[in-house]
């Protein structure tokens, strides 16, 4: 068993770390200042120039579309049969991309700099894997080039959406079109004025078997009947200009050719889409936790309480040691899941994917919480990134399925091994 990253991954790690050190970390203060300036000017939902200025540099450095996986036949493709290169991506495996996602995770907004941010990455993979040539040309190409953004409309306020078969939005065939009706929320990315397309999940046949009632359709954001109702806050944060929106779809008419893969394939697409996305989320969380631990150690070493540094307090040392153990355990489990996905497919790795989805956010929440304790009151306010880090980690105990769903899946697999 080889625990070393491939030479290619190590080379990309070095280049990405250098870019982060030279361009991204120094821009954090400017990023925060620009958001505040937009807020004061009443332009909160405006793309940030700080990020836009970094994108050409990332592209010139050959750090663009790093997430894009090999195509189904194993070739390194950007999804439409065109060979991957520095312009459109590297065709990295999940295992190769995972440590790069970790590096980006230390600065939550940085993944957009490299065109590697959710939900665009999942949407691009979905269109690349399941889209027609026409769909790829219209939507995948501009997404890969970073000219547009996208959103994924699945979760609904009226039903327990952790069970995807509960989705009630309606996709009804009408001649050469589909007519769509439904209310969605937590539609991440829909606040961005560059959001040009939604991947929408709804039901096309309510009489079909439970897991073949759903379909997914591409919906241009400017289609009549699509109305963004409001941004949803996450512990008080609205994540502008990205946003998590409640969106109403009323008699939205799109061509029947906009369907992905065919009627009744929505649940299947969702399962294929969420596997790689969970790897990305979990590795970014590991990067977030690593940075929280670094901040914790630095603060503990500088501050004195009760006659010695906070770092010399036994409880602090215990938490630092435990944090290191938890982070490394989560990383190894996530890399194992990525390795299994690459070699045997998402279905064969379903237990490991479920496990990392439980382990990584729970670990990150705990490590960040300990870091906040070391900072005291400063850990809860805007003077450190820790409070925002915590909201991101806690959110991912819901996103892509809540802990309970994944624990149930793990338990069923385990019980199946020992059935009597």
Task: Cite the beta strand spans of 115-263 per DSSP E.
Answer: 149-153, 170-174, 177-188, 195-203, 214-220, 226-231, 244-255
pTM greater than the 0.85 cutoff: yes
275: in domain: yes
Residues 278 and 404 in one domain: yes
170: in domain: yes
381: in domain: yes
Per-residue model confidence (pLDDT) at position 90: 66
Residues 275 and 201 in one domain: no
| Half-sphere exposure for 86 (CA within 13 Å, toward CB) | 9
Contact by Cβ (8 Å): 371, 292: yes
Contact by Cβ (8 Å): 284, 101: yes
146: in domain: no
DSSP character for 222? T
231: in domain: yes
Residues 271 and 413 in one domain: yes
CATH number at residue 177: 2.40.110.10
Residues 126 and 225 in one domain: no
Residues 114 and 158 in one domain: no
Give the Cα separation of 275 and 340 in Å (integer): 11
Give the Cα separation of 167 and 184 in Å (integer): 10
Residues 236 and 336 in one domain: no
28: in domain: yes
139: in domain: no
| Half-sphere exposure for 326 (CA within 13 Å, toward CB) | 25
CATH number at residue 24: 1.10.540.10
Residues 409 and 271 in one domain: yes
Other beta carbons less than 10 A from residue 112's beta carbon: 23
CATH number at residue 354: 1.20.140.10
pLDDT per residue rounded down to tens, the chain (420 residues) = 688 899 999 999 999 999 999 999 999 999 999 999 999 999 999 999 999 999 999 999 999 999 987 754 344 444 333 334 444 556 899 999 999 999 999 999 999 999 999 999 999 999 999 999 999 999 999 999 999 999 999 999 999 998 889 999 999 999 999 999 999 999 999 999 999 999 999 999 999 999 999 999 999 999 999 999 999 999 999 999 999 999 999 999 999 999 999 999 999 998 887 777 888 999 999 999 999 999 999 999 999 999 999 999 999 999 999 999 999 999 999 999 999 999 988 888 999 999 999 999 999 999 999 999 999 999 999 999 999 999 999 999 998 889 999 999 999 999 999 988
274: in domain: yes
Residues 111 and 169 in one domain: no
Residues 234 and 286 in one domain: no
DSSP character for 251? E
Of 241, 243, 231, 245, nearest to 184 by C-alpha is 245
Residues 273 and 399 in one domain: yes
Overall domain count for the chain: 3
Residues 127 and 155 in one domain: no
- Whole domain around residue 220: which residue ranges? 151-260
Per-residue model confidence (pLDDT) at position 362: 97
Per-residue model confidence (pLDDT) at position 401: 86
Please list, residue by residue across 11-27, b when 16 or more beta carbons sit within 10 angstroms of its beta carbon and e when fewer do. ebbeebeebbeebbeeb
Contact by Cβ (8 Å): 216, 122: no
Could you check whether the bond before residue 241 is cis, i.e. omega within 30 degrees of 0?
yes
Residues 205 and 113 in one domain: no
- Residue at which a domain ends, from 260, 282, 298: 260
- Residue at which a domain ends, from 99, 131, 163: 131
- Residue at which a domain ends, from 100, 131, 162: 131
């Amino acid at each position: 068993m080889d625990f070393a990253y491939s030479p290619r991954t190590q080379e990309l790690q070095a280049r990405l770390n250098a870019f982060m050190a030279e361009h991204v970390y120094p821009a954090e203060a400017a990023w925060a200042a620009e958001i505040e300036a937009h807020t004061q000017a009443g332009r909160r939902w405006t793309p940030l120039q700080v990020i836009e200025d970094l994108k050409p540099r990332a592209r010139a450095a050959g750090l663009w579309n790093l997430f894009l996986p090999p195509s189904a036949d194993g070739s390194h493709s950007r999804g439409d049969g065109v060979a991957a290169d520095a312009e459109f991506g590297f065709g990295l495996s999940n295992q190769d991309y995972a440590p790069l996602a970790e590096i980006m995770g230390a600065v939550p907004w940085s993944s957009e700099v490299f065109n590697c941010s959710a939900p665009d990455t999942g949407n691009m993979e979905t269109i690349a894997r399941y889209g027609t040539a026409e769909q790829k040309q219209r939507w995948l190409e501009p997404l890969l080039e970073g000219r547009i953004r996208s959103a994924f409309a699945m979760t609904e306020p009226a039903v327990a959406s952790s069970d995807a078969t509960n989705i009630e939005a309606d996709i009804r065939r009408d001649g050469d079109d589909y007519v769509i009706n439904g209310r969605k929320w937590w539609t991440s990315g829909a606040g961005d004025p560059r959001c040009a397309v939604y991947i929408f999940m709804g039901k096309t046949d309510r009489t079909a078997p439970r897991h073949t009632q759903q379909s997914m359709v591409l919906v241009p954001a400017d289609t009549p009947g699509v109305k963004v109702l409001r941004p949803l806050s996450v512990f008080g944060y609205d994540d502008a200009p990205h946003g998590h929106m409640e969106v109403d779809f009323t008699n939205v008419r799109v061509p029947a050719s906009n369907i992905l893969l065919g009627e009744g394939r929505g649940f299947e697409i969702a399962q294929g889409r969420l596997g790689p996305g969970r790897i990305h989320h979990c590795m970014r969380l590991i990067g977030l936790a690593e940075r929280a631990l670094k901040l914790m150690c630095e603060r503990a070493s500088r501050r004195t309480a009760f006659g010695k540094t906070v770092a010399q307090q036994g409880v602090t040392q215990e938490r630092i040691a435990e944090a290191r153990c938890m982070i490394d355990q989560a990383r190894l489990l996530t890399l194992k899941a990525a390795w299994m996905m690459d070699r045997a497919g998402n279905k064969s790795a379903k237990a490991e994917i479920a496990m990392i989805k439980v382990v990584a956010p729970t670990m990150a929440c705990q490590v960040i919480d300990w870091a906040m304790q070391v900072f005291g009151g400063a850990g809860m306010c805007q003077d450190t990134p820790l409070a925002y880090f915590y909201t991101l980690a806690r959110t991912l105990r819901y996103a892509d399925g809540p802990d309970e769903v994944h624990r149930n899946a793990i338990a069923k697999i385990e019980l199946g091994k020992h059935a009597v």
